[in-house]
Amino acid sequence: MKNEKRLRIVVVLYLLIICVLGRLIFMIPNQRYLNILNIDDFYVTSCIVLLAITLLIFFFVKGSVGKKLWMTIFFSIIIFTISAVYFYSNLPQYTYEEAAKKVANAEKQKGKSVQLQIPMYREDKLGVGKESFLQMTNHTYYIYLNVDDKPLVFKFNPLSGQFEEVTGERVLEEYEVQ
């Protein structure tokens, strides 16, 4: 009986540790993308699925607590592996710097004089789109250029690489004031 209690405590501690370490799996690439990735969706979903499976194991699987612990470990590895593979295989194609270079190069290919202006603050670089569950990001990048001595702002989708010039929006007005 005493061993069974210890194993139950080990299971709870294991779940806490795996959930903390699982968070790190999704946080690693987030800095490169200006913290725009929806890591919470992937992390929380993984933890909820793991908790549900663990509860099912402990309430409905017959056998020792040790066997249940090993099953929990096995399923946690599978759940976080699947989540991590999906997460890393669907990262946005472009970081902010790569997006800025792509837009600048597109304008240069048109034979224009281009000077890239990178804002100091993260908030000036981002636009927020419509939120959706398990999508990598709902943000867009704002790319600021001086093209032939005229300030232009482009909205860039980091997932698809599509961009368009922004006209008449508040971002453009703030950029022209600076």
* Measured distance between the N- and C-terminal CA atoms of the chain, rounded to whole angstroms: 71
C-alpha closest to that of 30 among 38, 21, 22: 38
**Does the pLDDT value for residue 171 go beyond 80?**
no
- Report the distance separating Cα 30 and Cα 82, nearest Å: 18
Task: Give pLDDT, residue 173.
Answer: 53
Q: What is the pLDDT of residues 102-151, one digit of tens each?
A: 999 998 998 888 888 888 888 888 888 777 888 899 899 999 998 888 88
Q: What is the pLDDT of residues 3-21, one digit of tens each?
A: 778 877 888 888 888 888 8
Handedness of CA 50, 56, 62, 65 (dihedral sign): positive
pLDDT band at residue 177 using 50, 70 and 90 as cut-offs: very low
Mean pLDDT, the chain, rounded, equals 86
Its pTM stands at 0.80
Handedness of CA 33, 34, 36, 38 (dihedral sign): positive
